[in-house]
C-alpha cells in the first residue's frame, strides 16, 4: 500500500503547483482567488499526509476560511476596476525576469533531486502532529522564525495604513453637474459638499 501514499503526494503536489501558477498568471482576480484556494487545500492535504492534523485544520480554517473570503470581499467591492488594464510597458523585462526565475528554479530542483537520498522509516512519537507537540516545536526551535514572521506582518500592517492615509489627500474626480443633490467628498475640508448649485440655477432660469 506504499504506492497509494506516493500517488496521493504527487496528486496534491501537482494540484498545489497548478493552483500557484493560476494565482500568479491569471488576469481575472476571481480566478486568481480560486487558484489560491486550490493551492491552500492541496497544502492541507500534504499536511495530512505528514500526520499533522492540527496544521491541516489551521490551513483550512485560517487561509481557506478567512484569507480567501477576505480577498473575495475586496474583489466584490472593487467591482470591474479590479481587473488590471492590459499594459505592455516593460513586457520584455517581465518576460526576461520570469524566464530567468524559471530556469533558476528548475536548476535548483535538479540539484536537489540529485542529492536526495531515501530516508529510512522510523517510529514516530505518540503525540506526533498533536497540538502539544506543535506548540513545543513552535516555541522552542521555531521561536525566532515565529517572532520574525510576527514582525513582518506588523510592518505590512503599518505600511498598508501609511499608504491608505497617503491616498486620502488626493483630489477626487467631481461628479457631473447635471446630477443635483449628489454629495462628493471635499479633499480640503474632509466632509461632504452637496451639489445644489445646478438645481438653484435651474430654478432661477
Strand partners, 183: 194
Nearest Cα neighbor of 195 from 185, 205, 203, 187 is 185
**Digits of tens for pLDDT over the chain (205 positions)?**
677 888 899 999 999 999 999 988 888 888 888 999 999 999 999 998 888 888 888 889 888 888 888 888 877 877 655 565 666 777 788 788 888 988 998 888 888 776 766 667 777 677 776 778 878 888 888 888 888 988 888 888 888 788 777 665 554 555 555 555 444 444 444 444 444 444 444 444 5
Residue 39 near residue 20 (C-beta atoms within 8 A): yes
CA–CA separation, 25 and 95 (whole Å): 12
Residue 90 C-beta-side C-alpha neighbours within 13 Å:
5
CA–CA separation, 205 and 201 (whole Å): 6
How confident is the model at residue 188, as a pLDDT?
47
One-letter-per-residue 3-state SS of 76-134: HHHHHHHCCCCCCCCHHHHHHHHHHHHHHHHHHHHHHHHHCCCCCCCCCCCCCCCHHHH
Task: Enter the DSSP assignment of 192.
Answer: E
CA distances from 5 to 35, 41, 186 (A): 24, 17, 62
How confident is the model at residue 84, as a pLDDT?
58
Q: What is the total residue count of the chain?
A: 205
The torsion angles phi and psi of 165, rounded to 5 degrees, stand at -70, -35
Nearest Cα neighbor of 189 from 172, 175, 166 is 172
Amino acid at each position: 500500500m506504499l504506492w497509494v501514499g506516493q500517488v496521493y503526494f504527487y496528486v496534491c503536489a501537482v494540484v498545489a503547483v497548478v493552483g500557484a501558477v493560476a494565482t500568479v498568471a491569471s488576469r481575472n482576480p476571481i480566478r486568481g482567488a480560486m487558484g489560491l484556494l486550490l493551492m491552500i487545500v492541496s497544502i492541507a492535504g500534504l499536511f495530512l499526509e505528514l500526520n499533522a492534523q492540527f496544521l491541516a485544520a489551521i490551513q483550512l480554517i485560517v487561509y481557506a476560511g478567512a484569507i480567501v473570503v477576505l480577498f473575495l470581499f475586496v474583489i466584490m467591492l472593487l467591482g470591474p476596476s479590479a481587473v488590471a488594464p492590459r499594459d505592455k510597458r516593460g513586457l520584455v523585462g517581465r518576460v526576461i525576469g520570469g524566464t530567468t526565475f524559471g530556469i533558476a528554479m528548475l536548476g535548483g530542483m535538479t540539484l536537489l533531486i540529485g542529492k536526495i537520498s531515501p530516508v529510512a522509516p522510523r517510529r514516530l512519537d505518540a503525540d506526533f502532529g498533536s497540538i502539544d507537540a506543535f506548540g513545543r516545536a513552535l516555541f522552542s526551535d521555531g521561536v525566532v522564525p515565529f517572532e520574525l514572521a510576527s514582525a513582518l506582518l506588523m510592518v505590512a500592517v503599518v505600511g498598508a495604513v501609511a499608504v491608505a492615509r497617503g491616498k486620502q489627500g488626493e483630489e477626487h474626480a467631481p461628479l457631473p453637474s447635471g446630477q443635483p443633490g449628489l454629495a462628493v467628498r471635499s479633499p480640503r475640508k474632509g466632509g461632504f459638499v452637496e451639489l445644489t448649485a445646478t438645481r438653484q440655477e435651474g430654478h432661477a432660469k
